[in-house]
Chain A
Amino acid sequence: EDQVTQSPEALRLQEGESSSLNCSYTVSGLRGLFWYRQDPGKGPEFLFTLYSAGEEKEKERLKATLTKKESFLHITAPKPEDSATYLCAVLSGGSEKLVFGKGTKLTVNP
């Protein structure tokens, strides 16, 4: 059974304090790993797809990386507007269904 575990559950940072969120996964044949951002009261917003170990993608202050067992979402010099819940999901071979982790709630204080 495909599983996704995100840590920590919640993270508080000061503005400018860089950190990383973790997404560990077990899946039979990874087809893709996805990162989403979700603001309160809204639907998840797509950020990145990673397909193979060693791949990296960047968007503004966010950088996602992928290994064979986990993915990291690195946040460099965060701003208060980066506060949100970040969700990780995986798609395995032979499946059309994403499996989501429970998310990491990030709060960035000014």
Chain B
Amino acid sequence: DAGITQSPRHKVTETGTPVTLRCHQTENHRYMYWYRQDPGHGLRLIHYSYGVKDTDKGEVSDGYSVSRSKTEDFLLTLESATSSQTSVYFCAISDLLRAGLSYEQYFGPGTRLTVT
């Protein structure tokens, strides 16, 4: 397995509270991603990072912010959690395998977040 850990693995929080999820990698990969997975929607990209302090939005970024101060850590913050953000959150990493072509993403074990 790729060296990716996520913490916490499970969290229950109340509406309106801030929540931070952490992704840590030991692979020294350049790219890191946050996804959410919901029944009927599949995996959807929230934010991604292409280097330290370099981030960009995905398709469902509203209500989320990210930070990457070190290569190995990528944080996802729910600024004020809502029930619609109850989901399973996955972190992924990737790096260029062949310049100019494509690259696989490797996923962490996930964080199950429940907002009550």
Contact = CB atoms under 8 A, between A and B. Distances in A.
**A interface, size bucket:** 20 to 34
A83 interface: no
Given A43-B90, A44-B90, A96-B48, A102 B102 contact: no
B50 A96 contact: yes
Nearest to B41: A102
Nearest to A41: B110
A97 B107 contact: no
Contacts of B56: 96
Interface string B88-116: 00101000000001111111111000000
Interface string A86-98: 0101010000111
Interface of A: 31-32, 34, 36, 41-46, 49, 51, 87, 89, 91, 96-98, 100-103
